[in-house]
Amino acid sequence: MELPCWCLLLLSCLQSLSAHNDFFTSIGQMTDLLYTEKDLVTSLKDYIRAEENKLERVKRWADKLDSLTATATQDPEGFLGHPVNAFKLMKRLNTEWGDLESLVLSDTTDGFISNLTIQRQYFPTEEDQTGAAKALLRLQDTYKLDANTISTGNLPDPEHQRAKGNLKYFEFQLEKQRKAAEETARTQEERGKRDTSEKKKQKKQKNSFSMIPERKKYEMLCRGEGLKMTPRRQSRLFCRYFDNNHHPRFVLAPVKQQDEWDRPYIVRYLDIISDAEIEKVKQLAKPRLRRATVHDPQTGKLTTAQYRVSKSAWLTGYEDPVIERINERIEAITGLEMDTAEELQVANYGVGGQYEPHFDFGRKDEPDAFKELGTGNRIATWLFYMSDVTAGGATVFPDVGAAVWPKKGTAVFWYNLFASGEGDYSTRHAACPVLVGNKWVSNKWIHERGQEWRRPCGLNETE
């Protein structure tokens, strides 16, 4: 028996869905559901046509018999006096009404119901529906879409799965604030009234921003309400053509580089990955996308978490020349060794997709964070933006008030560790919820091993 065309399309679509779940965590994979639903509509229309055809046959039969019986009952004996009419009456009641009964009782739903049953096992689950609903609430809270659901901005409860793991961080922040307050008081005493109004304004703004709970800072930055640089500080940020000390690759075609932030130093590279390369990376990654995981400090294992709503896949250099070329480009620009870096991670965010504030590097209370890799800590992060995002989706640094907005074809880079090897806590960052659009990124986590001669150690702990 040959399968209908729509059924073949359906089966091919289901093959791509069979290995996937958590649809709400990836817009890219949710697109498959649209084609699944389109095939379901095709199947439903086939069922409707079959029902309409059956009803049309029954209607024609009823119309014919209605006319016949109306004529026959006017003079029953005279009608049946004709032997052909008598035979036809016997034939109809003995055979044809039985055929009509079979027609009426025939089930045309089998094809549609069986296909619906096959597809249902690949449908989104209750978890997907709940996840999407929570995403809507998260978007309302973060972007103040509804005054009744504005977030209070309080820090997570101590039982929150990230709160305990971040205890050291918050203790560090409190100590830093105390020292900053002492330093401010001492400086003001020494300088007296010499501070300009601009500097006073900047200090006041920075101090007031630092006292805001992290959650609220995160949401403020996502809305574009972060710390504003003074014109003087802004004037120290530049854009330039960059050739990394006359690297042969960039002598004739230097890359476009612009400063995004000064402390920590965050730099963006423009037109650094082509549309064709982006499409190839997405093509390779999409079949492998799985729910993004985080490191559970209690169990030491990777697990999913509500504060990271995305799917990711890992691509190695030997899989495709495009990936190898991208790795070589990152090495040429940063001057850092890629052999000890992690593979290229590709991520696609889901409904209201986000990644709440976190560090890329392992802290001192996580000595075994990357032990299995044997390549040391994550010294730096390289992040490609592979799509424009209509609204939301910024990369924000709550501690310093920085916000970097997605722009397709660009990449941002920053060091997670000081030259001394100490972690730079100001690099704590987050991915804001995607309000409208589809956010694709890919990143390269670069490790310490192999960088000994490329980025020599510093003597100062925070230099």
Arithmetic mean of pLDDT, 175-180? 67
Mean pLDDT of the chain, nearest integer: 84
> Counting every residue, how long is the chain?
463
Q: Kindly tell me if the per-residue pLDDT of 75 is higher than 60.
A: yes
Arithmetic mean of pLDDT, 18-32? 76
Record the pTM.
Answer: 0.76
Per-residue confidence at 122, pLDDT binned at 50, 70, 90? confident
Six-digit token string for 460? 């100062």
Arithmetic mean of pLDDT, 349-374? 88
Per-residue confidence at 192, pLDDT binned at 50, 70, 90? low
The residue type at 344: L
Q: Kindly tell me if the per-residue pLDDT of 195 is higher than 60.
A: no
Q: Kindly tell me if the per-residue pLDDT of 263 is higher than 80.
A: yes
Give the count of alpha carbons within 13 A of 90, CB side only.
7
Cβ neighbour number for residue 43 with a 10 Å cutoff: 21
CATH homologous superfamily of 214-447 equals q2cbj1_9rhob like domain (2.60.120.620)
Domain boundaries defined on the chain: 23-121, 214-447
8-12, 252-256, 315-319: lowest mean pLDDT where?
8-12
Q: Kindly tell me if the per-residue pLDDT of 19 is higher than 50.
A: no
